[in-house]
Structure 1
Amino acid sequence: MADKVEFEFDIVVSLPKGSDDEDVILDALFDVGCDDAVVGLGASGLVGLGFTRVGVDAELVISEAVKQVLAALPTGSQLREVKPDLVSLADVAARLQVTRQALQKRDMPPPSLGGLYRASEMLPALEDQPGKVRDALDAARGWFASASAAQKINARASLEQS
């Protein structure tokens, strides 16, 4: 049996117009079992949820969380993004608690889109780095462990919505 891993990921969902009652949203998320999420309601029409969940397979863990979230939210809500997928060096630096400049000095995979990097490609590159960057990876492994699954789920969501 495979070992369980702690996965860290964010889910961003758009809400249909007129369905942004924060109390209703928070109660509904709690009722479906998302009481472990950090919920962000700062951007009008969007809900962001940060999760840390344990499981064997990141795609299964994240997909289940997405299903829970969509079941709680009003009809017409749509998955916008699962993170981490495309990330900036600043995002990675914040996770590792190092400076962006520390990453700029190292060999990184090529950017994918608009200066953003695929988080799934970052971990192998960072594991090859000496010093503080590599030493900081343990604290961010759950985030990197979610990256490939986030990428797949985002691709499927994009295809379904097009």
Structure 2
Amino acid sequence: MEYVFTLKYQLADDDCDHEQIVERLFEAGCDDATVGVGQPGRIALAFRRESPDAWSAIHTALHDVKRAIASARLVEAGPDFVGLTDVADVAGVSRQNMRKLMLAHPSQFPLPVHEGNPTVWHLSDVLVWLANRGAYSISSDLIDVAKSTKQVNLAKEAREIEPKFNRQLLALVA
């Protein structure tokens, strides 16, 4: 099965030769990724990876990138953080339709990651909610990729938690 996802990284100051980076990525097994280097000090890899499951595809890609660019720091795995327009595009409905669904089901619609302008959700949370409603044709492969990238992003953020706060916070946010 082919899985489509993106990994975005921050590069170390001394690792800025993009041609060399692309070559190292290719040699490390990232020949199934399109590499973007538009923003200074950043790199994005859009993968189309064959694998038995979404998690294996993402896990091996993370490993391959780390092997090629050991100093790179993961910024974000995607698809994960989305607004209503992004979800509407995936679900094949209008943004207005998504907003109506959100407002009509305030206690059931998934909680956002960030509430404000813009409001942002984890894609997997909204896709699962839509799929469970039964009226939307949502690809199970896309749900699997979105669930996996969400876990990568949560793990990345969790390593930032101070150990002394970890147990206390886990008890309060459940």
Contact 2:4 2:46 in 1 (8 A): yes
CA RMSD of aligned residues (A): 2.2
Q: Does 1:20 align with 2:16?
A: yes
**Greater C-alpha radius of gyration:** 2
Q: Does 1:77 align with 2:79?
A: no
CA gap of 1:44–1:118, structure 2 versus 1, over 3 A, is same
Contact 1:6 1:55 in 2 (8 A): yes
Q: Distance in 1 between matches of 2:18 and 2:28?
A: 16
Q: Distance in 1 between matches of 2:4 and 2:127?
A: 14
Please report the TM-score for the alignment, with normalisation by the length of structure 1.
Answer: 0.79
Please report the TM-score for the alignment, with normalisation by the length of structure 2.
Answer: 0.74
Higher mean C-alpha displacement, 103-112 vs 21-30: 103-112
CA gap of 1:129–1:117, structure 2 versus 1, over 3 A, is farther
Alpha-carbon shift at residue 38 of structure 1 (Å): 1.8
Tell me the equivalent position of 1:144. Answer: 143
Q: Distance in 2 between matches of 1:26 and 1:161?
A: 29
Contact 1:59 1:153 in 2 (8 A): no
Tell me which stretches of 4 or more aligned residues in structure 1 moved more than 6 Å: none
Identity of aligned residues (%): 30
Letter in 1 for 2:120: L
* SS of residue paired to 2:159: helix
Contact 1:9 1:51 in 2 (8 A): yes
Alpha-carbon shift at residue 68 of structure 1 (Å): 0.3
Alpha-carbon shift at residue 129 of structure 1 (Å): 5.9
Contact 2:54 2:141 in 1 (8 A): no
CA gap of 1:26–1:122, structure 2 versus 1, over 3 A, is same
* SS of residue paired to 1:106: helix
CA gap of 1:51–1:97, structure 2 versus 1, over 3 A, is farther
Alpha-carbon shift at residue 65 of structure 1 (Å): 0.4
Letter in 2 for 1:110: L
Q: Distance in 2 between matches of 1:143 and 1:95?
A: 9
Q: Does 1:119 align with 2:123?
A: yes
Q: Distance in 2 between matches of 1:47 and 1:62?
A: 16
CA gap of 1:96–1:41, structure 2 versus 1, over 3 A, is farther
Q: Does 1:55 align with 2:51?
A: yes
Q: Distance in 1 between matches of 2:77 and 2:44?
A: 10
